[in-house]
Structure 1
Amino acid sequence: MSSTIIYTLTDEAPMLATYSFLPIVQAYAGQAGVEVETRDISLSGRILAAFADVLPEDQRIADDLAELGRLATTPEANIIKLPNISASTPQLKAAVAELQDKGYALPAYPDDPQSDEEKDVRARYDAVKGSAVNPVLREGNSDRRAPEAVKGYARRHPHSMGEWSSDSRTEVATMGQDDFASNEQSAVLGSDDILTIQHIAADGTVTTLKSGLKVLQGEVVDSTVMRAAALDEFLREQVRRAKELDVLFSVHLKATMMKVSDPIIFGHVVRVYFADVYAEYGDRLMAAGLDGTNGLAAVLSGLDSIDGGEEIRAAFEQALADGPRLAMVNSDKGITNLHVPSDVIIDASMPAMIRTSGHMWGADGEEHDTLAVIPDSSYAGVYSAVIEDCKKHGAYDPTTMGSVPNVGLMAQKAEEYGSHDKTFEISADGKVQVVAEGGEVLMEHEVSAGDIWRACQTKDAPIRDWVKLAVTRARATGDPAVFWLDENRAHDARLIEKVRTYLADHDTDGLDISIMAPEAAAAHSVERIRQGLNTISVTGNVLRDYNTDLFPILELGTSAKMLSVVPLMNGGGLFETGAGGSAPKHVQQLTSENYLRWDSLGEFLALAESFRHLGDTTDNAKALVLADALDRATGTLLDENKSPARRVGQIDNRGSHFYLALFWAEELAKQTSDAELAERFSALASSLREQEQTITDELIAVQGSPADIGGYYRPDDEKAAAVMRPSPTFNAALASLAS
């Protein structure tokens, strides 16, 4: 087995933190004979890899993501995966523009490709958008939980929680009919097959939407449709209600992970909110591609290039004044909930709202009750259940509340997050069919022009592994495990059959394992939370994503402090390091005042598990010592409050890395199971402790002035390293470990 750990280079704040933390990791790992290599899976790296065959030779880079995808299927895989950008179209275009400015010979992103060459360029870029990384690497299911040290710290040092009132007007609005959840059909394949998705127009014209779709025996295949006319009617009603109730209007989608369907839905929201503008100027706006799919900001910026642009701009401004108040992303800058699809991501925005008294920010810079619009009803009830619980019982108490760890089904592009290549905006009335190779129609939907149709797959092997992991966690913790599955939803009904079958393969005596619909499971879990009890949520892929933000943000104040382990199905390990939702703001602060608030706690937790996995699989006792010492050092870091502070003049991300290195070295120096390691780290521990004041002074001295890192999406390595490693004393002490 390999003694190599792969540390991924990603984007934004996690990537900047890597310039500071990775040298520490490599220096310490080297003492245990462990190599720590890097692979670039950043947005810019993925873009360059996608065009490697057409770029000049000196601009080509390897496709590291594809390499890691292959590695993830092998027993020797040991990958630490940091948060990366799941790019929306505006983010992708911004990254391409930056790379072009740096001299990379990349083609422009074609909004309306016509030629075969333009279609090829568009296809390459589209493959980079959205959740391009996670489905490739996640060859296993997810085990996410709050480590005891983190949970204990949150109880001793509770984060702020806004007060809730029983007369709060905040609520969730969802369709409940004519949406993805209500229209879903599902089939389990009796044998391996090759499916075709086809559209049959009203006049009988048959168009193949996708062919050659390989499926395996036992695989669950779903199809569904969201009806555009019903969506618009629903949205019109919510705009009216928000105005009538005098609450903020907000929409909560995931235009990054659901990179085909949700931007389309977002465009509907923009057009409905600004219905009067589109009624009068829609022909010009739509002809210019300003349909709202990329958000209000893209529409407004595009007005400069069309006739009567200023007149239309004034109409938008009047509509904002006349319509319901919009929730704001940044009230100081006038950035609304509708400006950029990737600015308001449901799994981050909804928990933040719930934590803040059910409020979002208004244009006046104040908090207000909010109508949270979640069009598809598949999982909206989870947030409704938590909001209703808060209205009834008040805010949760971090000093006493229990926990909701998660076992998530996500391997091999399971469920909705694997639907991108099977999602279509329907061009004409008719029907869409999923057809087996022998001609049997497995599923069929009547459709109208503009409807959003999608199909999803969930392979049988990941489901078996998911059930096994749920039983393993229930046995290890003694906590009850609840499968969040709704027997009235087509896909979930299929999974319930499989769950019951595969549970029989395991010893479940003495375990509390049950199945509940998501809304009921959420209500059950928060009831237990208030009693200080833990409940394992066993969920599908999307709810895995939602729950591992929702509950950690309420319990810990952030989801970045979760331990996220992916036991890969072929024996390897993938160790994820938390959420990246606040990463852009951190980068902005670094470049403006050389201060990085990003908390690398997730990296510390993942690294310890990575060392532990490597030690267990390669019989490397030194790696196990490193893991145990790192866990204790992380506990000390929390107890001594050496995580990044909140303002300039205090330690930031770089300072927390120094203290982690200090506490880690001290733990290694005093451990007794490996005298060689203890001797190697004792000198470093003494040196770091003696020079603590000098090092922290050097780290803080650089703060307060702008920092040049040479790029947002692809920083200059030399400049970024200089910014993130500004203490010569610390750098020299670390270098001495290798001598």
Structure 2
Amino acid sequence: MKIIYTYTDEAPALATGSLLPILETFAAAAGVEVETRDISLAGRILAQFPDRLSAEQFTHDALTELGELAKTPEANIIKLPNISASVPQLKAAIGELQAQGFDIPDYPDDPQMAEEQEIRSRYDRVKGSAVNPVLRQGNSDRRAPASVKAYARKHPHTMGPWSSQSRSHVATMSDGDFRATELSMTVPEATTARIEHVAKDGTVTILKPDLPLQAGEVLDGSVMRVAELRAFFTDQVTDALESGLLYSVHLKATMMKVSDPIIFGHAVTTFFPELIGTPGWDPDDGLGALPAGTTVNYEGKPALAMVDSDRGITNLHVPSDVIIDASMPAAIRASGQMWNAQGLQQDTKFVIPDHGYAALYAETIDDCRRNGAFDPATMGTTPNVGLMAQAAEEYGSHDKTFKAPSAGTVRIVDAHGATLIEHEVQAGDIWRACQAKDAPIRDWVRLAVGRARATGAPAVFWLDETRPHDRELLVKVRDELSRLDTQGLQIEFLPVAEATRFTLARARAGQDTISVTGNILRDYLTDLFPIIELGTSAKMLSIVPLMDGGGMFETGAGGSAPKHVQQFVRENHLRWDSLGEFLALAVSLELVADRDANPRARVLAQTLDRATGRVLEERRSPSRKVGELDNRGSHFYLALYWAQELAAQGDEPELAERFGPLAERLAAAEGRIVAELEAVQGAPVDIGGYYHPNLALVDAAMRPSATLNTVLADFR
């Protein structure tokens, strides 16, 4: 069994340039092959246009290949964070590739001709969360490893103090949103349905001609009513101004690549109504896309939360800058405040339009206001079992989300002509369908019971009897639980607000709770709790037991990766922490050991775990400050400690004998290697591109220690 290590984007891709040679060196000693596949945004774009590239430029469609591999028992994939591209990011990547000589077309904003529509369809396969639905052929098991949790308790990170007088709060809709309009059903028999829009005059427009449905899958439809959305935004702008609060909008325009950019555009134009109709501008792309010279008037408006106060980047500049699962936990950790234009923290109105999951953050803010900040030294841990296999739930809705062209009806019609779900819509309303297949739901339940049995912690299904989708799920969940041995286990069913209160109370009491959630809550919770518990979600172990027998191991969140790259090119200091990669490598090696009966691979995994623990305990994680240890130095110490652990173990004496000299050479050269790694810091570095960097330049920048390179080469 091979390990497939993915090459992705931004800081994780840079870190790969330093870490991968170390991994390959150690894995080869156990006969383990490591191969890479490029699933970066640039790589995915180029793979869509083989007909426009020269032979030298040809880019293999690695994502499709890995999607097929993920459906086999041979899959062993380490998946690093990748860009889930908003339209501005996609356009920027296209422009960079064109400047590098790749003959790819511009992104057509309003495709009319058949050729433009075909180009747009290719780009639509790339933008947003294009990777995860393809690779996630299993459900999610995400948790803080015991060693990481112990370290966080022993060395707690700082938390901003909370005031009982804090006026920060969540504002959300109560009607007219996706949650309020949701309809759901369990499909009785396999069919191929279609989604269509029926105008008031009876004209039928097919929105999606082929929608395969399996017997037993849960099918939803819902609509965001734009009139209610705009009224909600307008009310919140007025209230923020009168209350003196920062105004901030929190969406997921990267994953919800059709609906949330449109919602973001309405947020922009309700805050700046005078900009409506600006020539050459799509509000969905944010203020950052305004034509040069356009005047933006901030007078008479509430203060906007800032993404980057120094550069004047507001919460409404770029849709991909306001990723809710990164921005909300960061604000909760920072006293429930965001940054204003003066670079100071301020109480904030957190505007989360759809009320389906807003209660998670509302309840957490209320809890902190009552009880103060959480204490990482004493709080319990909240692992997650998430339903995400086979594009389950909302994050798999991209190809079934549409902006209503006119007033009428949007409906799902089966092969017999029967209407399964329908909604009345007005022009501009956002309609979407979601699916969750029967097999992934049952696999999710089994995974949750297994984790509860292994840990003894209660398992809480975050399911709400009053939500149509959850009612359908609960029928399957209870049926599957009746088939399993649950004796002695505590299993709860709670809606979002109650589940949040239950989990937070246990966390404050130092107790652990397994959250068992759908796809979006999986994403939100596995950032919120790790950021509070550990300081970052990058320190979580994320295992995806693939339903067909293989494994995928995800390495943490990449929400802060753009800022890391900015610092790197400015100062040649990469503060990205590869701890998530270390953790994923260990469990990936364990899978190799199990499948191939490879005892050396098991020893590599065990010693890597111990080496990772030493990296933490001996404070060898990357510093944020230039001139101190960065990502490259952290990788050196992992190699040193890993070699020392291998040299000291006795289960595989041949491995010990082989790695002993390497451990000695690395230890003897420690001072020289660290000096070489730190000597390059402080000056700008050229990597030849942001989305499509020059790999030779990246390799030179990420491997600046000639001594370390020589030692590893000699060992190989």
Q: What TM-score comes out, normalization by structure 1 length?
A: 0.96
The secondary structure found in structure 2 opposite 1:199 is: strand
In structure 2, what is the equivalent of residue 339 of structure 1?
317
Distance 2:223 2:698 in 1: 46
Secondary structure at the aligned position of 1:581 is classed as: coil
Q: Matches of residues 379-528 of structure 1 in structure 2 within 5 Å?
A: 379-528=357-506
Aligned to 1:609: 587
Aligned-residue offset at 1:580? 0.4
* Aligned counterpart, 1:542: 520
Match of 1:211 among 206, 209, 212: 209
Give the counterpart of 1:292 among 283, 286, 290. Answer: 283
Distance in 1 (alpha carbons) for counterparts of 2:280 and 2:688: 32
Asked if 1:240 is matched to 2:238, the reply is: yes
- Name the counterpart of 1:32: 30
Corresponding residue for residue 251 of structure 1: 249
Which of 221, 226, 230 is the aligned partner of 1:223?
221
In the other structure, the counterpart of 2:183 is 185
For 1:540 and 1:160, the matched residues in 2 are separated by 30
Q: Does 1:736 align with 2:710?
A: no
- Relative distance call for 1:733 and 1:579 in structure 2 (3 A) is same
Distance (whole Å) between structure 2 residues aligned to residue 646 and residue 326 of structure 1: 27
Q: Which residue of 2 aligns with 1:159?
A: 157
Residues matched between the structures, number: 716
Distance in 1 (CA, whole Å) between partners of 2:121 and 2:156 is 47
Match of 2:200 in 1: 202
What one-letter code is carried by the residue in structure 1 that aligns with 2:281?
L
In 1: Cα distance, 2:172 partner to 2:318 partner: 21
Asked if the contact 2:677/2:704 (under 8 Å) is kept, the reply is: yes
**One-letter identity of the residue aligned with 2:622:** P
Q: 2:613 aligns with which of 635, 653, 664?
A: 635
Q: Does residue 65 of structure 2 align to residue 67 of structure 1?
A: yes
The letter of the residue matching 1:115 is M
| 532-541 vs 195-204, greater mean Cα deviation | 195-204
Q: Partners of 2:553 and 2:324 in 1: how far apart?
A: 23
Query: How much does 1:58 deviate?
Result: 2.1
User: For residue 118 of structure 1, what is the aligned residue in structure 2?
Assistant: 116
- Matched residues in 2 for 1:66 and 1:716: separation? 24
* Aligned match of 1:307: none
Residue in 2 aligned with 1:532? 510
Q: Residue type of the partner of 2:609?
A: D
Map Cα deviations across residues 396-450 of structure 1 (whole Å, 9 max, x no partner). Answer: 0000001110000000000001111110110111111111111111111111111
Q: Secondary structure at the match of 1:59?
A: coil
Q: Distance in 1 between matches of 2:299 and 2:327?
A: 24
Alignment equivalent of 1:662, drawn from 614, 626, 640? 640
CA distance in 2, matches of 1:232, 1:545: 27
Q: Is the 8 A contact 1:271 1:291 kept in 2?
A: no
Question: Of residues 551, 559, 563 in structure 1, which corresponds to 2:537?
Answer: 559
Aligned-partner SS, 2:317: coil
Alpha-carbon contact 2:152-2:376 (below 8 Å) kept: yes
Q: C-alpha distance in 1, partners of 2:481/2:570?
A: 54
Encode CA deviations 1:13-48: one digit per residue, 9 max, x unaligned: 000000000000000000000000000000000000
Distance apart, 1:122 and its partner CA: 1.1
Is structure 2 residue 70 aligned with structure 1 residue 92? Answer: no
Tell me the secondary structure at the aligned position of residue 22 of structure 1: helix
What is the CA deviation profile of residues 258-307 of structure 1, one whole-angstrom value per residue up to 9, with x for unaligned ones?
A: 000000000000010012x14xxx34x2xx352410001112xx2x4xxx
Asked if the contact 1:222–1:491 (Cα under 8 Å) also holds between the matched residues in 2, the reply is: yes
* Equivalent residue letter for 2:311: K
- Aligned residues: percent identity? 62
Taking the aligned partners of 2:629 and 2:541, their CA distance within structure 1 comes to 24
Q: Give the deviation of 1:167 after TM superposition.
A: 1.2
In 2, the alpha carbon distance for the partners of 1:56 and 1:689 equals: 47
1:622 matched to 2:600? The reply is yes
Shift of 1:54: 2.5
Matches within 5 A, 1:250-269: 250-269=248-267
CA contact (8 A) 2:136 2:390 kept: yes
Q: Distance in 2 between matches of 1:700 and 1:552?
A: 30
Question: Are residue 367 (structure 1) and residue 345 (structure 2) matched?
Answer: yes
Which amino acid in structure 1 is aligned with residue 503 of structure 2? S
Note if contact 2:379-2:510 (Cα within 8 Å) is conserved in structure 1: yes
1:128 is paired with a residue whose SS is: coil
Give the CA deviation at 1:359.
0.3
Distance across 2 between alignment mates of 1:672 and 1:52: 51
The Cα shift of 1:609 comes to 0.5
C-alpha separation in 1, matches of 2:714 and 2:484: 51
Aligned-partner Cα distance in 2 for 1:514–1:401: 21
Q: CA deviation at 1:538?
A: 0.3
Give deviations 1:481-504, integer Å, cap 9, x for gaps: 000011111101101111100011
8 Å contact kept, 2:282–2:289: no
Which of residues 654, 667, 672 in structure 2 aligns to 1:689? 667
Deviation at 1:152, TM superposition (A): 0.8
Question: Match of 2:179, SS?
Answer: coil
User: Is the CA contact (8 Å cut-off) linking 1:414 and 1:456 kept in structure 2?
Assistant: yes
* C-alpha displacement of 1:709: 1.1
Most deviating of 155-164 and 7-16? 155-164
In the other structure, the counterpart of 2:130 is: 132
Amino acid at match of 1:265: I
CA distance in structure 2 between the aligned counterparts of 1:732 and 1:12, rounded to whole angstroms: 27
Of the three residues 606, 618, 626, the one matched with 1:648 is: 626
3-state SS of 2:178 partner: coil
Aligned: 1:327 with 2:318 = no
Whole-angstrom distance in 1 between the partners of 2:421 and 2:87: 31
Give the Cα separation in 1 of the matches to 2:202 and 2:120.
30
1:583 pairs with one of 561, 569, 574:
561
Letter in 1 for 2:384: N
1:605-647 superposed Cα distances (whole Å, 9 cap, x missing partner): 0000100111111111110000000000000110000000121
| TM-score, normalisation: structure 2 | 0.99
Q: Distance in 2 between matches of 1:206 and 1:645?
A: 59
CA RMSD between the two structures:
0.8
Counterpart of 1:678 in structure 2: which amino acid? A
The amino acid of 2:680's aligned partner reads V
Q: C-alpha displacement at 1:203, in angstroms?
A: 1.0
The amino acid that maps onto 2:644 is E
- The residue type equivalent to 1:601 in the other structure is L
Conserved 8 A contact 2:393-2:436: yes
Mapped to 1, the partners of 2:233 and 2:658 lie a distance apart of 64
User: SS at 1:681's partner residue?
Assistant: helix
Supply the AA of the counterpart residue of 1:689: A
